[in-house]
Amino acid sequence: MNQIVRNLVRRKLRSFLTISGIVIGILALTTMGALANNFNALLDGGAKYIAGYVPVGDASSNGLSGSGVLPLAKQSDLAAVPGVARVFPSIQVAAKPGSFQVVSLGLPDYISSLDPAENNYSAFKITYASGRSLAAGASGEVVLGSNMAAEFKKRVGDSLTLPIKPSDANADFVQHTYTVVGILNRTLTAPDTAAYVNLADAQQLLKEQLPVALQE
């Protein structure tokens, strides 16, 4: 042991480089392992989340499943299709309209309608870290995914104004203030970056993000 210590002291530069190389190697191995586990969890969670839904769009969607706008009256027609357990209208808009990221390591923030009953039919269950789900028929409530809550430092009972106003927004840019009623547990997939509101609130947000000529 004494001989080892003397050699380390005698050849300080070589010892420093050797130890540094070992430390860097261990850190790199640990980091890559953690990243691999995280990506696997993201893929598994995402696949399970997507598999729980069959998105339906109109003829104008050009093959993009779930895009386009359908009238709510179509619910009864879709519910009558053999094998369909339940039909849920879904509206999704950007939480940060107009923002552009060259490099993104995750899903973008978005605002989506949520019917609490969806959880009873989905293979991918969402659970609450705090608070509750949206109350039936209540307007002005929002449930935040774990990433959204952390990003804006929000807790149950706080207020959050959405969508986020971009720096180059027009003078007529519209925002709404919601009360946070629930925060979801981390899922490592889409719900983490979501802000969930009821259908009527989501319809209003969609209308406001459309060109004026199409709003009515």
Predicted confidence (pLDDT) per residue in 104-126, tens digit: 456 789 999 999 998 888 878 89
Asked if residue 18 and residue 8 are part of one domain, the reply reads yes
Asked if residue 99 and residue 191 are part of one domain, the reply reads yes
Asked if residue 125 and residue 83 are part of one domain, the reply reads no
Query: Is the confidence at residue 15, as pLDDT, over 80?
Result: no
User: What contacts 24+ positions apart, CB below 8 Å, involve 164-167?
Assistant: 164/95, 164/96, 164/97, 164/99, 164/109, 166/96, 166/97, 166/98, 166/99
Q: Which two tokens stand for residue 121?
A: 């039919």
4 pLDDT band, cuts 50/70/90, is low
Asked if residue 106 and residue 31 are part of one domain, the reply reads no
* pLDDT digit string, tens, across residues 61-102: 555 555 677 888 888 999 999 988 889 999 999 999 875 544
What gap in Å lies between CA 40 and CA 48, rounded to an integer?
A: 12
Query: Is the confidence at residue 47, as pLDDT, over 80?
Result: no
Q: List C-alpha distances in Å: 49 to 36, 82, 103, 123, 191.
A: 20, 22, 24, 7, 9
Q: What is the per-residue DSSP string for 165-193?
A: PPTT--TT---EEEEEEEEEPP-SSGGGG
Q: Which two tokens stand for residue 38?
A: 């995280």
Query: Is the confidence at residue 146, as pLDDT, over 90?
Result: yes
pLDDT of residue 2: 63
Asked if residue 197 and residue 186 are part of one domain, the reply reads yes
Mean pLDDT over residues 174-195, rounded? 93
Q: What angle do CA 64, 68, 71 make, to 5 degrees?
A: 140
Query: Is the confidence at residue 35, as pLDDT, over 70?
Result: no
Q: Which domain holds residue 22?
A: 2-46
**Residues 182-212 as b or e (16 or more Cβ within 10 Å = b):** bbbebbbbbbbbbbbbbbebbebbbebbeee
Asked if residue 190 and residue 144 are part of one domain, the reply reads yes
pLDDT of residue 132: 96
103 pLDDT band, cuts 50/70/90, is very low
Q: What angle do CA 159, 160, 162 make, to 5 degrees?
A: 150
Query: Is the confidence at residue 182, as pLDDT, over 90?
Result: yes
Asked if residue 146 and residue 94 are part of one domain, the reply reads yes
